[in-house]
Structure 1
Amino acid sequence: MNRTERRHFEKEMSKILKKSAGVCGVCGTELNHNSQTFGGILEPYGTVLTGECCVNKLEVIMGAGVYINKNINGIMSVMKTGQGISHASPSDALSAIRQIRSGIGEIDSAADDLMREAGIERPPTDITVTDAPWKLDDAEWFNRHPGRSYRMRSLHPDEIPTLQDAVTDVVIPPNHCWEILVRQVNKGQRIRTAFCRNMAVFIPDADDVIHAIFDIVVKGEGQGVISAKDVAALVDSYNR
Protein backbone atom coordinates (compact mmCIF):
# COMPACT_ATOMS: atom_id res chain seq x y z
CA MET A 1 0.00 0.00 0.00
CA ASN A 2 1.52 3.33 -1.06
CA ARG A 3 1.36 6.60 0.86
CA THR A 4 -1.70 7.89 -1.01
CA GLU A 5 -3.63 4.68 -0.34
CA ARG A 6 -2.63 4.75 3.34
CA ARG A 7 -3.81 8.34 3.70
CA HIS A 8 -7.12 7.40 2.08
CA PHE A 9 -7.48 4.49 4.49
CA GLU A 10 -6.76 6.72 7.51
CA LYS A 11 -9.29 9.31 6.31
CA GLU A 12 -12.01 6.70 5.79
CA MET A 13 -11.24 4.99 9.11
CA SER A 14 -11.53 8.33 10.90
CA LYS A 15 -15.04 8.72 9.45
CA ILE A 16 -15.98 5.19 10.50
CA LEU A 17 -14.78 5.75 14.08
CA LYS A 18 -16.79 8.97 14.39
CA LYS A 19 -20.06 7.37 13.30
CA SER A 20 -19.50 3.82 14.52
CA ALA A 21 -22.65 2.26 15.94
CA GLY A 22 -20.65 -0.30 17.89
CA VAL A 23 -21.11 -3.12 15.38
CA CYS A 24 -18.79 -5.07 13.11
CA GLY A 25 -18.63 -3.38 9.72
CA VAL A 26 -18.82 -6.73 7.91
CA CYS A 27 -21.41 -8.91 9.64
CA GLY A 28 -23.16 -6.32 11.82
CA THR A 29 -22.57 -8.21 15.06
CA GLU A 30 -22.62 -5.96 18.13
CA LEU A 31 -19.13 -5.36 19.50
CA ASN A 32 -18.54 -6.31 23.12
CA HIS A 33 -17.08 -3.88 25.61
CA ASN A 34 -13.29 -4.28 25.92
CA SER A 35 -13.05 -6.41 22.79
CA GLN A 36 -10.33 -6.16 20.15
CA THR A 37 -11.10 -4.46 16.86
CA PHE A 38 -9.31 -4.42 13.51
CA GLY A 39 -9.24 -1.91 10.70
CA GLY A 40 -8.48 -3.01 7.17
CA ILE A 41 -9.54 -3.47 3.58
CA LEU A 42 -12.22 -5.81 2.32
CA GLU A 43 -13.77 -5.58 -1.12
CA PRO A 44 -16.40 -4.56 -2.07
CA TYR A 45 -16.73 -2.66 1.24
CA GLY A 46 -13.39 -0.88 1.05
CA THR A 47 -12.20 0.37 4.45
CA VAL A 48 -13.92 -1.49 7.30
CA LEU A 49 -13.76 -1.81 11.07
CA THR A 50 -14.37 -5.35 12.30
CA GLY A 51 -14.41 -7.32 15.49
CA GLU A 52 -12.65 -10.61 16.06
CA CYS A 53 -15.65 -12.24 14.38
CA CYS A 54 -14.58 -11.14 10.89
CA VAL A 55 -10.88 -10.30 11.14
CA ASN A 56 -9.98 -13.37 9.05
CA LYS A 57 -12.05 -12.01 6.17
CA LEU A 58 -9.92 -8.87 5.81
CA GLU A 59 -7.68 -8.80 2.76
CA VAL A 60 -5.32 -6.34 4.45
CA ILE A 61 -5.15 -5.52 8.19
CA MET A 62 -4.05 -1.93 8.73
CA GLY A 63 -4.53 -1.48 12.43
CA ALA A 64 -6.01 -2.79 15.66
CA GLY A 65 -7.69 -1.27 18.68
CA VAL A 66 -10.04 -1.79 21.61
CA TYR A 67 -13.79 -1.11 21.63
CA ILE A 68 -15.02 0.52 24.86
CA ASN A 69 -18.70 1.29 25.46
CA LYS A 70 -18.45 2.20 29.13
CA ASN A 71 -17.50 5.66 30.27
CA ILE A 72 -14.12 5.07 31.93
CA ASN A 73 -12.75 8.54 32.57
CA GLY A 74 -9.02 8.99 32.06
CA ILE A 75 -8.34 5.35 31.23
CA MET A 76 -5.47 6.10 28.86
CA SER A 77 -3.65 8.37 31.31
CA VAL A 78 -4.00 5.79 34.05
CA MET A 79 -2.74 3.00 31.81
CA LYS A 80 0.29 5.10 30.81
CA THR A 81 -0.03 3.75 27.31
CA GLY A 82 -1.63 4.54 23.99
CA GLN A 83 0.65 7.47 23.18
CA GLY A 84 2.74 7.10 20.08
CA ILE A 85 1.77 3.54 19.17
CA SER A 86 0.08 4.37 15.86
CA HIS A 87 3.35 3.75 14.00
CA ALA A 88 4.73 1.06 16.30
CA SER A 89 5.64 -2.42 15.16
CA PRO A 90 2.77 -4.96 15.07
CA SER A 91 4.14 -6.78 18.11
CA ASP A 92 4.46 -3.53 20.09
CA ALA A 93 0.95 -2.44 19.10
CA LEU A 94 -0.58 -5.80 20.04
CA SER A 95 1.30 -5.76 23.35
CA ALA A 96 -0.10 -2.29 24.11
CA ILE A 97 -3.61 -3.46 23.22
CA ARG A 98 -3.28 -6.45 25.55
CA GLN A 99 -2.15 -4.11 28.32
CA ILE A 100 -5.06 -1.76 27.72
CA ARG A 101 -7.60 -4.60 27.72
CA SER A 102 -6.10 -6.05 30.88
CA GLY A 103 -6.23 -2.67 32.63
CA ILE A 104 -9.81 -2.02 31.55
CA GLY A 105 -10.78 -5.49 32.74
CA GLU A 106 -9.26 -4.83 36.17
CA ILE A 107 -11.09 -1.50 36.49
CA ASP A 108 -14.39 -3.06 35.36
CA SER A 109 -13.97 -5.91 37.84
CA ALA A 110 -13.18 -3.55 40.72
CA ALA A 111 -16.20 -1.38 39.88
CA ASP A 112 -18.51 -4.39 39.65
CA ASP A 113 -17.22 -5.69 42.99
CA LEU A 114 -17.86 -2.29 44.57
CA MET A 115 -21.43 -2.19 43.25
CA ARG A 116 -22.09 -5.70 44.60
CA GLU A 117 -20.61 -4.78 47.97
CA ALA A 118 -22.92 -1.77 48.06
CA GLY A 119 -25.90 -3.99 47.23
CA ILE A 120 -26.57 -2.25 43.92
CA GLU A 121 -27.60 -4.61 41.14
CA ARG A 122 -27.32 -2.29 38.13
CA PRO A 123 -23.94 -1.85 36.39
CA PRO A 124 -21.98 1.39 36.87
CA THR A 125 -22.62 4.03 34.21
CA ASP A 126 -19.48 6.06 34.84
CA ILE A 127 -16.13 5.04 36.28
CA THR A 128 -13.82 7.91 37.16
CA VAL A 129 -10.27 6.82 37.93
CA THR A 130 -8.45 10.15 37.65
CA ASP A 131 -8.38 12.95 40.19
CA ALA A 132 -11.00 15.67 39.86
CA PRO A 133 -12.03 18.59 42.11
CA TRP A 134 -15.32 16.93 43.05
CA LYS A 135 -13.53 13.67 43.94
CA LEU A 136 -11.07 15.51 46.15
CA ASP A 137 -13.95 17.42 47.75
CA ASP A 138 -15.77 14.17 48.57
CA ALA A 139 -12.59 12.58 49.94
CA GLU A 140 -11.88 15.58 52.19
CA TRP A 141 -15.51 15.72 53.37
CA PHE A 142 -15.57 12.06 54.43
CA ASN A 143 -12.18 12.48 56.13
CA ARG A 144 -13.68 15.32 58.18
CA HIS A 145 -16.79 13.23 58.93
CA PRO A 146 -15.45 9.74 59.79
CA GLY A 147 -18.81 8.63 61.13
CA ARG A 148 -20.64 9.30 57.89
CA SER A 149 -21.18 6.99 54.91
CA TYR A 150 -23.57 9.22 52.91
CA ARG A 151 -23.42 12.78 51.68
CA MET A 152 -25.69 15.10 49.68
CA ARG A 153 -23.97 18.00 47.96
CA SER A 154 -24.22 20.46 45.09
CA LEU A 155 -23.21 19.44 41.60
CA HIS A 156 -19.71 20.64 40.70
CA PRO A 157 -19.52 22.43 37.31
CA ASP A 158 -16.77 20.11 36.03
CA GLU A 159 -18.83 17.11 37.11
CA ILE A 160 -21.61 17.77 34.61
CA PRO A 161 -19.96 15.92 31.67
CA THR A 162 -19.65 12.77 33.78
CA LEU A 163 -23.42 12.84 34.37
CA GLN A 164 -24.33 13.94 30.86
CA ASP A 165 -27.36 11.70 30.35
CA ALA A 166 -28.88 12.33 33.77
CA VAL A 167 -28.49 16.09 33.59
CA THR A 168 -29.28 16.88 29.95
CA ASP A 169 -31.98 14.36 29.07
CA VAL A 170 -34.43 15.33 31.80
CA VAL A 171 -36.37 18.59 31.96
CA ILE A 172 -36.56 19.44 35.66
CA PRO A 173 -39.52 21.35 37.19
CA PRO A 174 -39.24 24.91 38.51
CA ASN A 175 -37.56 25.33 41.92
CA HIS A 176 -35.65 22.08 41.47
CA CYS A 177 -31.93 21.53 40.95
CA TRP A 178 -29.52 18.67 40.46
CA GLU A 179 -27.62 17.55 43.52
CA ILE A 180 -25.33 14.59 44.06
CA LEU A 181 -25.82 11.75 46.51
CA VAL A 182 -22.55 10.07 47.49
CA ARG A 183 -22.03 6.80 49.30
CA GLN A 184 -18.57 5.93 50.59
CA VAL A 185 -18.43 2.13 50.55
CA ASN A 186 -14.77 1.94 51.56
CA LYS A 187 -12.20 4.65 52.10
CA GLY A 188 -11.36 6.00 48.66
CA GLN A 189 -14.19 4.04 46.99
CA ARG A 190 -17.42 5.93 46.48
CA ILE A 191 -20.61 5.68 44.41
CA ARG A 192 -22.49 8.75 43.15
CA THR A 193 -25.91 9.29 41.71
CA ALA A 194 -27.70 12.43 40.54
CA PHE A 195 -30.74 13.57 42.52
CA CYS A 196 -33.29 16.15 41.32
CA ARG A 197 -34.04 18.03 44.52
CA ASN A 198 -37.09 20.14 45.31
CA MET A 199 -35.53 23.20 46.94
CA ALA A 200 -38.75 23.95 48.82
CA VAL A 201 -38.38 20.74 50.84
CA PHE A 202 -36.03 20.74 53.83
CA ILE A 203 -33.78 17.69 53.94
CA PRO A 204 -31.83 17.22 57.18
CA ASP A 205 -28.14 16.48 56.82
CA ALA A 206 -28.43 13.15 58.62
CA ASP A 207 -26.72 9.97 57.45
CA ASP A 208 -29.79 7.75 57.70
CA VAL A 209 -31.96 10.25 55.77
CA ILE A 210 -29.41 10.63 52.95
CA HIS A 211 -29.00 6.83 53.04
CA ALA A 212 -32.72 6.35 52.46
CA ILE A 213 -32.87 8.86 49.60
CA PHE A 214 -29.79 7.26 48.01
CA ASP A 215 -31.35 3.79 48.16
CA ILE A 216 -34.62 4.98 46.63
CA VAL A 217 -32.83 6.76 43.79
CA VAL A 218 -30.41 3.98 42.84
CA LYS A 219 -33.22 1.41 42.87
CA GLY A 220 -35.38 3.60 40.64
CA GLU A 221 -38.23 3.66 43.12
CA GLY A 222 -40.58 6.51 43.97
CA GLN A 223 -42.11 6.83 40.47
CA GLY A 224 -40.28 10.12 39.95
CA VAL A 225 -41.28 11.59 43.34
CA ILE A 226 -39.69 10.68 46.66
CA SER A 227 -42.14 11.10 49.51
CA ALA A 228 -41.24 11.92 53.09
CA LYS A 229 -43.28 8.87 54.10
CA ASP A 230 -41.10 6.53 52.03
CA VAL A 231 -37.92 8.08 53.40
CA ALA A 232 -39.18 7.81 56.99
CA ALA A 233 -40.13 4.15 56.49
CA LEU A 234 -36.65 3.31 55.24
CA VAL A 235 -34.98 5.24 58.06
CA ASP A 236 -37.10 3.32 60.52
CA SER A 237 -36.05 0.00 58.93
CA TYR A 238 -32.36 0.93 59.23
CA ASN A 239 -32.72 1.68 62.94
CA ARG A 240 -34.56 -1.50 63.90
Structure 2
Amino acid sequence: MDQMSGEGLSTETIRQRVYLLRGIGGEPWDVTGEDVVAFLNAKTMSQATHAAYITILRSIFADLIRLGWVEQDPMARIKTPRSPRRFPRPLPDSELELLLNLPDEFRREREFTILGAYAGLRAGEVASLPGNALRMGTHGIVLQVVGKGNLVADIPAHPKVVEILEQYTGADLIWDMWPTSVNRAWQRAGRSVGIEGRVFHQLRHSYATRLYKVTGGSLLAVASACRHASVATTQKYAAVADDAPFLAVSGL
Protein backbone atom coordinates (compact mmCIF):
# COMPACT_ATOMS: atom_id res chain seq x y z
CA MET A 1 0.00 0.00 0.00
CA ASP A 2 2.74 2.49 0.94
CA GLN A 3 4.68 1.72 -2.23
CA MET A 4 1.58 2.28 -4.38
CA SER A 5 0.81 5.55 -2.60
CA GLY A 6 4.36 6.65 -3.25
CA GLU A 7 3.87 5.92 -6.94
CA GLY A 8 1.15 8.59 -6.98
CA LEU A 9 -1.74 6.17 -7.53
CA SER A 10 -5.22 7.28 -6.52
CA THR A 11 -7.00 5.67 -3.57
CA GLU A 12 -9.48 4.06 -5.96
CA THR A 13 -6.70 2.51 -8.07
CA ILE A 14 -4.93 1.19 -4.96
CA ARG A 15 -8.17 -0.36 -3.70
CA GLN A 16 -8.74 -2.09 -7.05
CA ARG A 17 -5.21 -3.47 -7.09
CA VAL A 18 -5.37 -4.76 -3.52
CA TYR A 19 -8.77 -6.36 -4.18
CA LEU A 20 -7.47 -8.27 -7.21
CA LEU A 21 -4.20 -9.38 -5.58
CA ARG A 22 -6.03 -10.61 -2.50
CA GLY A 23 -8.49 -12.44 -4.74
CA ILE A 24 -5.72 -14.30 -6.53
CA GLY A 25 -4.05 -15.14 -3.20
CA GLY A 26 -0.47 -15.88 -2.27
CA GLU A 27 2.48 -13.55 -2.72
CA PRO A 28 2.55 -11.48 -5.93
CA TRP A 29 5.99 -12.82 -6.93
CA ASP A 30 4.66 -16.38 -6.78
CA VAL A 31 1.59 -15.78 -8.98
CA THR A 32 1.45 -17.73 -12.24
CA GLY A 33 -0.67 -17.31 -15.33
CA GLU A 34 -2.68 -20.35 -14.23
CA ASP A 35 -3.44 -18.64 -10.90
CA VAL A 36 -4.79 -15.58 -12.73
CA VAL A 37 -6.94 -17.67 -15.07
CA ALA A 38 -8.34 -19.68 -12.14
CA PHE A 39 -9.21 -16.44 -10.31
CA LEU A 40 -10.97 -14.96 -13.34
CA ASN A 41 -12.86 -18.17 -14.16
CA ALA A 42 -14.08 -18.52 -10.58
CA LYS A 43 -15.93 -15.20 -10.79
CA THR A 44 -19.22 -14.41 -12.47
CA MET A 45 -18.70 -11.17 -14.36
CA SER A 46 -19.56 -9.37 -17.56
CA GLN A 47 -17.19 -9.42 -20.52
CA ALA A 48 -16.41 -5.75 -19.89
CA THR A 49 -15.49 -6.41 -16.23
CA HIS A 50 -13.38 -9.39 -17.29
CA ALA A 51 -11.46 -7.17 -19.72
CA ALA A 52 -11.07 -4.43 -17.08
CA TYR A 53 -9.64 -6.89 -14.52
CA ILE A 54 -7.08 -8.14 -17.04
CA THR A 55 -6.06 -4.56 -17.88
CA ILE A 56 -5.57 -3.73 -14.19
CA LEU A 57 -3.61 -6.93 -13.57
CA ARG A 58 -1.34 -6.17 -16.54
CA SER A 59 -0.58 -2.80 -15.01
CA ILE A 60 0.07 -4.31 -11.57
CA PHE A 61 2.57 -6.88 -12.79
CA ALA A 62 4.25 -4.43 -15.17
CA ASP A 63 4.92 -2.21 -12.16
CA LEU A 64 6.12 -5.14 -10.04
CA ILE A 65 8.56 -6.19 -12.78
CA ARG A 66 9.80 -2.60 -13.11
CA LEU A 67 10.42 -2.50 -9.34
CA GLY A 68 12.30 -5.81 -9.46
CA TRP A 69 9.82 -7.68 -7.27
CA VAL A 70 8.66 -10.07 -10.00
CA GLU A 71 10.84 -11.70 -12.65
CA GLN A 72 8.30 -13.31 -14.98
CA ASP A 73 5.04 -11.73 -16.08
CA PRO A 74 2.06 -14.04 -15.35
CA MET A 75 -0.05 -11.92 -17.74
CA ALA A 76 2.21 -12.54 -20.75
CA ARG A 77 0.02 -15.20 -22.38
CA ILE A 78 -3.37 -13.97 -21.19
CA LYS A 79 -5.42 -12.31 -23.90
CA THR A 80 -7.79 -9.44 -23.20
CA PRO A 81 -11.30 -10.20 -24.49
CA ARG A 82 -12.77 -7.62 -26.80
CA SER A 83 -15.40 -5.57 -25.01
CA PRO A 84 -18.68 -5.19 -26.91
CA ARG A 85 -19.68 -1.70 -27.95
CA ARG A 86 -21.89 -0.38 -25.18
CA PHE A 87 -24.29 2.52 -25.00
CA PRO A 88 -25.33 4.44 -21.86
CA ARG A 89 -28.22 3.01 -19.87
CA PRO A 90 -29.75 5.83 -17.83
CA LEU A 91 -32.26 4.81 -15.18
CA PRO A 92 -35.95 5.32 -15.90
CA ASP A 93 -37.21 8.49 -14.21
CA SER A 94 -39.62 6.46 -12.08
CA GLU A 95 -36.79 4.36 -10.62
CA LEU A 96 -34.56 7.36 -10.07
CA GLU A 97 -37.35 9.03 -8.13
CA LEU A 98 -37.67 6.00 -5.84
CA LEU A 99 -33.94 5.90 -5.19
CA LEU A 100 -33.77 9.63 -4.44
CA ASN A 101 -36.48 9.11 -1.82
CA LEU A 102 -35.22 5.97 -0.11
CA PRO A 103 -36.37 5.68 3.53
CA ASP A 104 -34.06 6.74 6.37
CA GLU A 105 -33.10 3.11 6.87
CA PHE A 106 -31.08 3.59 3.66
CA ARG A 107 -29.96 7.15 4.24
CA ARG A 108 -26.38 6.38 3.19
CA GLU A 109 -27.53 4.78 -0.06
CA ARG A 110 -29.88 7.73 -0.68
CA GLU A 111 -26.83 9.98 -0.41
CA PHE A 112 -24.94 7.71 -2.80
CA THR A 113 -27.80 8.14 -5.27
CA ILE A 114 -27.62 11.93 -5.07
CA LEU A 115 -23.86 11.91 -5.63
CA GLY A 116 -24.30 9.70 -8.68
CA ALA A 117 -27.33 11.46 -10.14
CA TYR A 118 -26.33 15.07 -9.38
CA ALA A 119 -22.52 14.90 -9.63
CA GLY A 120 -21.93 11.89 -11.87
CA LEU A 121 -19.59 10.22 -9.39
CA ARG A 122 -18.43 6.68 -10.02
CA ALA A 123 -18.66 4.07 -7.23
CA GLY A 124 -14.91 4.30 -6.64
CA GLU A 125 -15.08 8.08 -6.33
CA VAL A 126 -17.87 7.81 -3.77
CA ALA A 127 -15.95 5.14 -1.85
CA SER A 128 -12.88 7.36 -1.45
CA LEU A 129 -14.55 10.78 -1.18
CA PRO A 130 -12.88 12.97 1.48
CA GLY A 131 -14.72 15.30 3.82
CA ASN A 132 -12.99 18.36 2.39
CA ALA A 133 -14.10 17.83 -1.22
CA LEU A 134 -16.15 21.05 -1.38
CA ARG A 135 -14.48 24.37 -2.10
CA MET A 136 -15.31 27.79 -3.51
CA GLY A 137 -14.65 28.17 -7.22
CA THR A 138 -14.84 31.12 -9.60
CA HIS A 139 -18.54 30.68 -10.28
CA GLY A 140 -19.67 29.08 -7.03
CA ILE A 141 -19.15 25.97 -4.91
CA VAL A 142 -17.36 23.12 -6.68
CA LEU A 143 -16.74 19.48 -5.84
CA GLN A 144 -13.15 18.35 -6.24
CA VAL A 145 -12.98 14.79 -7.53
CA VAL A 146 -10.01 12.49 -8.02
CA GLY A 147 -11.05 10.36 -10.97
CA LYS A 148 -9.57 7.94 -13.47
CA GLY A 149 -5.84 8.16 -13.90
CA ASN A 150 -5.59 10.06 -10.62
CA LEU A 151 -6.77 13.19 -12.45
CA VAL A 152 -8.16 15.93 -10.22
CA ALA A 153 -11.14 17.93 -11.48
CA ASP A 154 -13.48 20.55 -10.06
CA ILE A 155 -17.12 20.17 -11.07
CA PRO A 156 -20.09 22.40 -10.18
CA ALA A 157 -21.67 21.23 -6.93
CA HIS A 158 -25.45 20.92 -7.06
CA PRO A 159 -27.21 22.24 -3.92
CA LYS A 160 -28.32 18.69 -3.07
CA VAL A 161 -24.68 17.56 -3.17
CA VAL A 162 -23.57 20.51 -1.04
CA GLU A 163 -26.26 19.73 1.54
CA ILE A 164 -24.96 16.17 1.91
CA LEU A 165 -21.25 16.88 2.01
CA GLU A 166 -21.44 19.79 4.44
CA GLN A 167 -22.44 17.23 7.08
CA TYR A 168 -19.06 15.55 6.74
CA THR A 169 -16.72 18.55 6.69
CA GLY A 170 -13.50 17.62 8.45
CA ALA A 171 -13.80 13.88 7.92
CA ASP A 172 -10.85 12.05 6.39
CA LEU A 173 -12.71 9.65 4.14
CA ILE A 174 -16.48 10.00 4.47
CA TRP A 175 -17.38 6.34 3.96
CA ASP A 176 -14.04 4.58 3.34
CA MET A 177 -15.49 1.63 1.41
CA TRP A 178 -14.53 -0.58 -1.48
CA PRO A 179 -16.16 0.46 -4.79
CA THR A 180 -17.83 -2.95 -5.01
CA SER A 181 -19.29 -2.40 -1.52
CA VAL A 182 -20.82 0.90 -2.64
CA ASN A 183 -22.48 -0.82 -5.58
CA ARG A 184 -23.76 -3.77 -3.54
CA ALA A 185 -25.14 -1.57 -0.75
CA TRP A 186 -26.88 0.61 -3.32
CA GLN A 187 -28.33 -2.41 -5.13
CA ARG A 188 -29.60 -3.81 -1.82
CA ALA A 189 -31.36 -0.52 -1.10
CA GLY A 190 -32.81 -0.56 -4.61
CA ARG A 191 -34.26 -4.03 -4.07
CA SER A 192 -36.05 -2.74 -0.98
CA VAL A 193 -38.16 -0.52 -3.26
CA GLY A 194 -38.58 -3.10 -6.01
CA ILE A 195 -35.67 -2.16 -8.29
CA GLU A 196 -33.69 -5.09 -9.69
CA GLY A 197 -30.86 -5.52 -12.15
CA ARG A 198 -29.35 -2.04 -11.93
CA VAL A 199 -25.77 -0.98 -11.23
CA PHE A 200 -24.56 2.19 -9.54
CA HIS A 201 -22.78 3.42 -12.68
CA GLN A 202 -26.15 3.88 -14.37
CA LEU A 203 -26.63 6.95 -12.16
CA ARG A 204 -23.71 8.51 -14.03
CA HIS A 205 -25.48 7.70 -17.28
CA SER A 206 -28.60 9.43 -15.96
CA TYR A 207 -26.53 12.45 -14.93
CA ALA A 208 -24.96 12.85 -18.37
CA THR A 209 -28.22 12.29 -20.24
CA ARG A 210 -30.07 14.84 -18.13
CA LEU A 211 -27.23 17.34 -18.52
CA TYR A 212 -27.39 16.97 -22.28
CA LYS A 213 -31.10 17.79 -22.23
CA VAL A 214 -30.95 20.79 -19.86
CA THR A 215 -28.00 22.35 -21.71
CA GLY A 216 -29.83 22.19 -25.01
CA GLY A 217 -27.48 19.56 -26.36
CA SER A 218 -24.12 21.10 -25.42
CA LEU A 219 -21.59 18.30 -25.81
CA LEU A 220 -18.78 20.47 -24.45
CA ALA A 221 -20.70 21.30 -21.25
CA VAL A 222 -21.54 17.64 -20.67
CA ALA A 223 -17.99 16.49 -21.44
CA SER A 224 -16.62 19.00 -18.93
CA ALA A 225 -19.08 18.11 -16.15
CA CYS A 226 -18.58 14.37 -16.70
CA ARG A 227 -14.80 14.69 -17.05
CA HIS A 228 -14.76 12.83 -20.34
CA ALA A 229 -11.35 12.65 -22.00
CA SER A 230 -12.99 12.79 -25.42
CA VAL A 231 -16.19 14.36 -26.75
CA ALA A 232 -16.64 11.10 -28.67
CA THR A 233 -17.59 9.51 -25.34
CA THR A 234 -20.12 12.27 -24.70
CA GLN A 235 -21.74 11.77 -28.11
CA LYS A 236 -23.08 8.42 -26.92
CA TYR A 237 -25.28 10.29 -24.46
CA ALA A 238 -26.53 12.55 -27.23
CA ALA A 239 -27.87 9.49 -29.03
CA VAL A 240 -29.64 8.26 -25.90
CA ALA A 241 -31.11 11.66 -24.96
CA ASP A 242 -32.33 12.57 -28.45
CA ASP A 243 -36.03 11.69 -28.52
CA ALA A 244 -36.59 13.27 -31.95
CA PRO A 245 -36.82 9.87 -33.75
CA PHE A 246 -39.54 8.75 -31.32
CA LEU A 247 -41.47 11.96 -31.77
CA ALA A 248 -41.18 11.63 -35.54
CA VAL A 249 -42.42 8.04 -35.58
CA SER A 250 -45.30 8.82 -33.22
CA GLY A 251 -46.41 11.53 -35.61
CA LEU A 252 -46.85 9.13 -38.52
TM-score (norm 2): 0.24
Structure 1 or 2, whichever has the larger Rg, is 1
More strand by share: 1
Larger RCO, structure (CA 8 Å, separation 6 or more): 2
